[in-house]
Amino acid sequence: MEEHGAVLRLPRMRTLTEAYACIKEADPETAFTANYVRCLIVSGAIPRMKCGKKYLVDVDLLIEHLRKVAQGNA
């Protein structure tokens, strides 16, 4: 998709389970747990949107937040 010559990036919206699977795929040995990710979402640290009965998060925002946490910048 293009808008005025710029390519639009659609957010990669995923459920908690799918988002955590992306994290595990990127780093199979990660020390971050699914429960920690759930707490981030429930606390509002990661924006979420309701889609039917499910909540979705932008997996790229989640990964960026985890990067900041790991670097001590969150």
How confident is the model over 13-23, as pLDDT tens digits? Answer: 999 999 999 99
Examine the pLDDT at 74 and tell me if it is beyond 70.
Answer: no
CA distance 15 to 35: 13
59: amino acid identity, one letter: V
- State pTM to two decimals: 0.79
